[in-house]
Structure 1
C-alpha cells in the first residue's frame, strides 16, 4: 500500500474542482512523449520541488535513483510536464505529506492528495 501525492503547476491546473479532477485524470494517463522518470521534462518550479524532495525521499528510478531500494523512504516518482506524482511507503505518509507541503509552499506549486 502506498501514500500518493501529486504536485502541479498552478498556472496549468483548472480552478474549479470538477475541472481539476478531469485534468488530474488526464494527467495520470501518462500519455506524454517522454521518460516519466527524468525531471528534465517538467517546469523549473516542479524540478526544484523534486530536487528538494529527493534529498529526503530518494527516487526508486531515474537518473537520481537510490541504490538502497529497501529504505522505506525510497519513493516512486512519475514526472510529467505539469505534474509530479509521488508514491511513498505508507509508513512514511506523515513525514512525506509534511515535506511535500513545505516544499510546495517554498516552490509555489500546488499539492493534491488524491486520498482526500
Structure 2
C-alpha cells in the first residue's frame, strides 16, 4: 500500500467538495485514451510542477538501474515515486516512510505552480 497524493488543474475541477470527489472518482477510473506516463498530455502548470517534483521524488519508471545499485543508504530508492499523469491531474504514490516529506513538498510546489492539491491518503483535504 502506498501513500497517495494528487495535484490537479483548478480550472477544470468543481468548486464544492461533493462534486470534486465525484470528479476525482471519474479521473481515477483511468479511462483517458493515453498511457498515463507521458507528461505532455497534462496542463503546462502541472508539467512545471512535475519538473520540480521529480527533483525531490524521482519517477520510479525513469530511474537508471545503475543509480539504484549505487544507492547504498537507500535514500534514492525510498524517494522513488509512481506518477500517473492525466489531462488535468497528476496522481502520485509514495513510500509511507517519506509521507511527511512528500506531503510538504507536494503542497509547497502546488502553491508555487498554482495547482490544486488533494490529500488522498490522509485527511482528504483539498487545497
Give TM-score scaled by structure 2 length: 0.85
Runs of 4+ more than 3 Å apart: none
Instruction: Give structure 2 stretches of 5+ with no counterpart.
Output: none
Distance between the aligned counterparts of 1:109 and 1:40, measured in 2?
A: 16
Aligned residues: 113
Which string of whole-angstrom CA distances, capped at 9 and with x for unpartnered residues, describes residues 73-103 of structure 1? 0000000000000000100101101110110
Match of 2:57 in 1: 57
1:82 to 80, 88, 100: 88
Distance between the aligned counterparts of 1:56 and 1:30, measured in 2?
A: 25
Where 2:5 maps in the other structure, the secondary structure is strand
Match of 1:45 in 2: 45
Q: Which has the larger radius of gyration?
A: 2
Residue 114 of structure 1 and its aligned partner are, at CA, apart by 1.5
Instruction: Give structure 1 stretches of 5+ with no counterpart.
Output: none
1:66 to 63, 70, 77: 63
Which string of whole-angstrom CA distances, capped at 9 and with x for unpartnered residues, describes residues 16-37 of structure 1? 1110000000000111111201
